[in-house]
Structure 1
């Protein structure tokens, strides 16, 4: 019995095959395109994503030597991108980081409603409700012909099964849906003019059985029709499920977010979301937009092709001692603590040098700035954790894990195998091995623990005070 997990991120599809004891047997990935547009628009083509799913699953099966009949179940996680299925709407996936609905988000934020409160008091244009408001206002001809509009993880499951169902994780975190207040908030949907979008089907907790693959889904994915599909999660929530349990979790990928239980509502804090990961638990989220994307942008500045691993390896041999370069990394707005999508990043101490050594320095100081932002997120949530689970692409680097430990003062607990894929595999296995809690226990992995280095922590403390002062200066300039 093997379990398949598919993670659709901001630029790549990754598929993994797991044994029943949680061992990762194979992992494969395929890239897909980002289609940039005006006014912060960013889109994808679902057909390209779906082909990437099929190709990465086939490659993972080939690597593991697994026959289709051995894949017992499958689950998807994805970014909170919005799939709009309607004649004439192309590209059909509005990316999670698309900010076209900024005006609608600002308008929504002025409404006194629990949905707004749980969005940190200031609704992000990355959420689905303002995007739906934008769609009905700017493309009414599309709106009236909607066949469906779904979170990406839900659309993937629908394409695989043909069954209408939505993940509680997605609807609770990104839509006008409150699990503990009756579900869909029709009063808010009516007030914003979006009450008529198609929303048939059950709302299922992560790891719940949706159903077997359809004939079409099985043929396109190269699997047997008997393969079961389980309700998945948004990618960050999958990472929290697959990371070390019993502590707050930092998901450090294209963006950084901190997931934690029992957090009071507050500005820039999303949640609490009952049952969005585990039954009987409420999870809240706070974070930073486009952190890994900032590091990727710097990587692309190098005159010769570079990998993140190569850059970090060079930096690790010559860490800074007296740096005078400082960055505020909010180049695509602030989720936490300022809840302002229009805030922009700041750099102090830039030179005109573009040689690899200078770019390494820029990359490193951007990474430090991101870690300082994470420290601020954790404090804003009211946390002072002694331990912090870490997942996501940045976690693969020992230097990055050490930087987060030195900056936050917390031990970093990391599983060497992919926590996001593991979270989806836990959801896939849950219907077949006794539920999501049993699956999480069965899939637990050994941990690598990184403790703060006192000497580096002192440097990061200096950086912290500069970071806060730069934010004050940015605010002063904005007022001017």
Structure 2
């Protein structure tokens, strides 16, 4: 059979493609930017047609760089953010924000427009809420669909094919209308372990009885790594591949990262967490039995590996928060070069001041709500200890203390999944933060965990390469493919002295969370008094 596979990872701001051999070696990689529209507060829209064109350009460029013939690519797999794509019965785009052109047909995963609807779903007390950590997040699809039906009924009436972005890409490539088990389970409240996997009583109760008609969701999902068929002729031409190339049922991007990071570790999975850190941060653990932890999503069966239960937590904005700091406080375009410049200056300042650098400057990093462990999408961020310093060094100090806060918030997530005095798990890092040595060391120091970083491969892309190789029939199952294709790693160990220093910052984080709760109670009470 053909000896290579193509993997595609669609993140918040770009589409990445890689060509891998069956040993997991990345031979060529390319990236294309993706546009984002913010038409109003809490809205974030994308153009699925533009995403598809970016995917095609990235695959063509990656194959050129790998110098691999199109006929040698056995299969392609996609992973993507859990964004929601709305199309009509003819497959044409339907806009998702009032007044927007139809091409803006995708609600980005981080969009917060459906907070009211999410709270209403939570208030039902339905058993699926236990799989959301006790509160339905506005990042999930049922609240977004309910918002669309209520706020844009004419557009809802046009909808006939609504899917997660990963399933949209698979449809564009193969024509298959199948839906990935990973996407339906983790974002649509689908429970494959039940005789009737759809919570129809909840769906009817919240006013989405026409869900199936408007979205086209099937009764049953398909397992990750399933062969959905060959590339359609027009897709093969656009991707620069052949019509014999198979298309795999894919995954949400963070979950592909978990597969690439820890999928090869079999019986030792209980001591290893995947840390997928980019725009947001996800911590993922797999187990043989279901675990319910307040403030954490899951447990979800078979979402990453067959027979394994997934539980996940994290921070809704981590890399996005650092970008925000650069933009708002630094007035800069937060590209990789600017982040590197900031981190280099922080290293110089810390060489002079050590842990005393901006010690009175403290950040509560919930600028986009708190995903875990509080499951509070309405939570807000706090910066304490600001001065009138508006120079570059002032930005660097705030950036540093924001990074410290993110690391301490990560510790809180890890502690809830592996409560002390249990042995510290190993954290397998994937995503953009793996390329930031300052963040990586902070994560090790704050959590007290050993981190494993891939030496060569992009682990999220590797996860999709594992999926593609399985669909191609190169391996009997996902676990076998993950073992054969696993990337070599290097270890980052915590510095005990740094861990001790960060204990104070961790206590400050907890105190700031409690202080915010007290202020919110006061503010809410004042609002009620003024309203009366």
**Structure 1 residue 249 corresponds to structure 2 residue 277:** no
CA–CA distance in 2 between the matches of 1:51 and 1:173? 27
CA–CA distance in 2 between the matches of 1:310 and 1:421? 27
CA–CA distance in 2 between the matches of 1:176 and 1:411? 34
After TM superposition, give the deviation of residue 201 of structure 1 in Å. Answer: 7.5
SS at match of 1:226: coil
The one of 357, 374, 389 equivalent to 1:353 is 389
The one of 159, 169, 187 equivalent to 2:182 is 169
After TM superposition, give the deviation of residue 114 of structure 1 in Å. Answer: 2.2
After TM superposition, give the deviation of residue 398 of structure 1 in Å. Answer: 2.1
Match of 2:528?
none
Q: TM-score, normalised by structure 2?
A: 0.87
CA–CA distance in 1 between the matches of 2:224 and 2:235? 20
**Structure 1 residue 426 corresponds to structure 2 residue 466:** yes
CA–CA distance in 2 between the matches of 1:157 and 1:304? 36
**Structure 1 residue 466 corresponds to structure 2 residue 508:** yes
SS at match of 1:286: strand
The 5 Å alignment of 1:208-287 reads 208-244=226-262, 245=265, 246=269, 247-262=272-287, 264-287=291-314
What do the CA deviations read for 1:78-129 (whole angstroms, capped 9, x no partner)?
1100001136523100000111111110000011222211011110001001
After TM superposition, give the deviation of residue 373 of structure 1 in Å. Answer: 0.7
Match of 1:397?
436
Q: Structure 1 93/303 Cα, relative in aligned 2: closer, same or farther at 3 Å?
A: closer
Q: Structure 1 457/201 Cα, relative in aligned 2: closer, same or farther at 3 Å?
A: same
CA–CA distance in 1 between the matches of 2:29 and 2:219? 32
CA–CA distance in 2 between the matches of 1:317 and 1:17? 38
What do the CA deviations read for 1:210-243 (whole angstroms, capped 9, x no partner)?
1110112112212111111111110110111111
SS at match of 1:321: helix
Residue 249 of structure 1 contacts residue 389 of structure 1 at CA under 8 Å; is this kept in 2? yes
CA–CA distance in 2 between the matches of 1:304 and 1:77? 30
After TM superposition, give the deviation of residue 145 of structure 1 in Å. Answer: 2.1
After TM superposition, give the deviation of residue 49 of structure 1 in Å. Answer: 0.7
Q: TM-score, normalised by structure 1?
A: 0.97
Q: How many residues align?
A: 480
**Structure 1 residue 446 corresponds to structure 2 residue 474:** no
The 5 Å alignment of 1:70-469 reads 70-86=72-88, 88-89=94-95, 90=102, 91-181=104-194, 182-196=196-210, 197=214, 198-200=216-218, 203-244=221-262, 245=265, 246=269, 247-262=272-287, 264-300=291-327, 301-302=329-330, 306-319=337-350, 320-322=354-356, 323-383=359-419, 384=422, 385-416=424-455, 417-431=457-471, 432-434=473-475, 435-469=477-511
After TM superposition, give the deviation of residue 186 of structure 1 in Å. Answer: 1.7
SS at match of 2:23: coil
Bigger proportion of residues as strand: 1
Where does structure 1 differ by over 4 angstroms across 4 or more consecutive aligned residues?
Answer: 303-306
CA–CA distance in 2 between the matches of 1:467 and 1:411? 22
Residue 165 of structure 1 contacts residue 201 of structure 1 at CA under 8 Å; is this kept in 2? no
Q: CA RMSD in A?
A: 1.6
Residue 86 of structure 2 contacts residue 94 of structure 2 at CA under 8 Å; is this kept in 1? no
Q: Structure 1 303/34 Cα, relative in aligned 2: closer, same or farther at 3 Å?
A: closer
CA–CA distance in 2 between the matches of 1:286 and 1:51? 32
CA–CA distance in 2 between the matches of 1:180 and 1:330? 34
SS at match of 1:388: strand
CA–CA distance in 1 between the matches of 2:131 and 2:425? 26
Structure 1 unaligned regions, length at least 5: none
Residue 75 of structure 1 contacts residue 229 of structure 1 at CA under 8 Å; is this kept in 2? yes
Match of 2:527?
none
SS at match of 2:221: strand
After TM superposition, give the deviation of residue 378 of structure 1 in Å. Answer: 1.5
CA–CA distance in 1 between the matches of 2:4 and 2:338? 32
